[in-house]
């Protein structure tokens, strides 16, 4: 189960990173374009990306355990 959660969190963070890259290079906010500018769905997406990023901080402790 933990591996599945890790893969899901990593996928969501990668999607968030791609979105930030699009914002930085082309001024295109893909999440806002798909779901609308800061409506409740886009806020949930942004919150999930943030929570997954915080969860992935635990990868550093797992790397040091190897």
Structurally, the chain folds into a number of domains equal to: 1
Domain that holds residue 37: 2-65
d(CA 59, CA 56) in angstroms, rounded, equals 5
- The DSSP code for 57 is T
Q: How confident is the model at residue 1 (pLDDT cuts 50, 70, 90)?
A: low
- The DSSP code for 38 is T
Measured over the CA atoms of residue 49, residue 22, residue 35 and residue 11, the dihedral's sign is negative
Q: What is the pLDDT of residues 3-30, one digit of tens each?
A: 899 999 999 999 999 999 999 999 999 9
Question: Can you give the pTM of this predicted structure?
Answer: 0.83
């Amino acid at each position: 189960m933990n591996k599945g959660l890790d893969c899901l969190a990593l996928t969501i963070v990668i999607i968030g990173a791609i979105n930030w890259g699009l914002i930085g290079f082309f001024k295109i906010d893909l999440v806002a374009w798909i779901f609308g500018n800061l409506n409740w769905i886009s806020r949930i997406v942004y919150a999930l990306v943030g929570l997954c990023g915080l969860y992935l901080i635990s990868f550093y402790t797992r790397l040091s355990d190897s």
